[in-house]
């Protein structure tokens, strides 16, 4: 089994980390700078920062806040939300982001993926895909889950790979915040239809949920609520997965990096 990464996610609105259910009923979870530092020291493999109100507010990402988080983060750091141009991506990469995540803007202008990848390399471009179940399978949604696109997931997966996506961050809106586990049908589908690394997001509520995700074959397991509100530590998750035979980066490896 390949090594799996454990990735906390900071959903940021109005300068604070928040968490809700299916992108609604948001509650405060803390200060993003302090939380970024905490997860970096706790042994997270990566950190994702998503400015979730940027697109719906018609503005670009909070570069200054992302920079402050980056200063305290010693692990790979992805920033998204409101990344709608090469210029914004460049600003984030200059202030400390290792990767940028594009979502709504990429659906509107798919060539943005290639534009960023051509300058900085595919490895710097994460395409975030938010999906809902529909009568025809899975539909891509944008603007923080508020806008259906009519775009079927398989068609979008094919397009983003062609444009140069280096990684996919796939979130099940149906499972988000439900604490009922990853959507196994969704990630099995994505893994069967893509050749790029996949991060699973949405639904983790137990240690077994992490194990199920790892056994599906995704490369990254993203979670928020269980980490932000103290259900589990990064160490507990890694210890549980390792005991089940999953390959994880251990603490001694972290110190050698």
Residues annotated as catalytic (active site), given as ranges = 11, 130
Residues whose CB falls within 8 Å of the CB of residue 187, separated by 6 or more in sequence, listed in order? 170, 198, 200, 213, 216, 218
- Give backbone dihedrals phi and psi of 179, rounded to 5 degrees, phi first: 60, 30
Measured CA to CA, the distance from residue 238 to residue 8 in angstroms comes to 13
Residues whose CB falls within 8 Å of the CB of residue 257, separated by 6 or more in sequence, listed in order? none
The 8-class DSSP code of residue 75 comes to: S
Beta partners for residue 137, in sequence order? 134
Measured CA to CA, the distance from residue 34 to residue 51 in angstroms comes to 16
Cβ atoms of 30 and 8 within 8 Å: the answer is no
User: Which is it for strands 137-142 and 125-134: parallel, antiparallel or unpaired?
Assistant: antiparallel
């Amino acid at each position: 089994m390949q090594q799996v990464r454990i990735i906390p996610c900071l959903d940021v609105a109005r300068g604070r980390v928040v968490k809700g259910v299916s992108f609604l009923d948001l509650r405060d979870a803390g200060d993003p700078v302090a939380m970024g530092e905490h997860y970096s020291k706790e042994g997270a493999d990566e950190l994702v920062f998503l400015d979730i109100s940027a697109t719906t507010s018609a503005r670009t990402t909070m570069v200054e806040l992302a920079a402050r988080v980056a200063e305290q983060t010693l692990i790979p750091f992805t920033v998204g939300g409101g990344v709608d141009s090469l210029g914004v991506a460049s600003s984030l990469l200059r202030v400390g982001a290792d990767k940028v995540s594009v979502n709504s803007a990429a659906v509107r202008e798919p060539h943005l993926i290639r534009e960023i990848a051509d300058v900085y390399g595919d490895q710097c471009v994460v395409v975030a895909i938010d999906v809902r179940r529909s009568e025809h399978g899975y539909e891509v949604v944008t603007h923080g889950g508020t806008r259906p696109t009519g775009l079927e997931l398989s068609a979008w997966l094919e397009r983003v790979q062609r444009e140069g996506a280096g990684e996919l961050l796939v979130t099940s809106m149906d499972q988000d915040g439900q604490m009922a586990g990853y959507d196994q049908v969704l990630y099995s589908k994505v893994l069967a239809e893509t050749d790029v690394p996949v991060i699973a997001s949405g639904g983790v509520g137990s240690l077994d949920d992490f194990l199920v995700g790892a056994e599906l074959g995704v490369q990254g397991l993203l979670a928020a609520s269980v980490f932000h509100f103290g259900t589990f530590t990064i160490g507990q998750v890694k210890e549980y997965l390792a005991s089940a035979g999953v390959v994880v980066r251990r603490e001694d490896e972290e110190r050698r990096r």
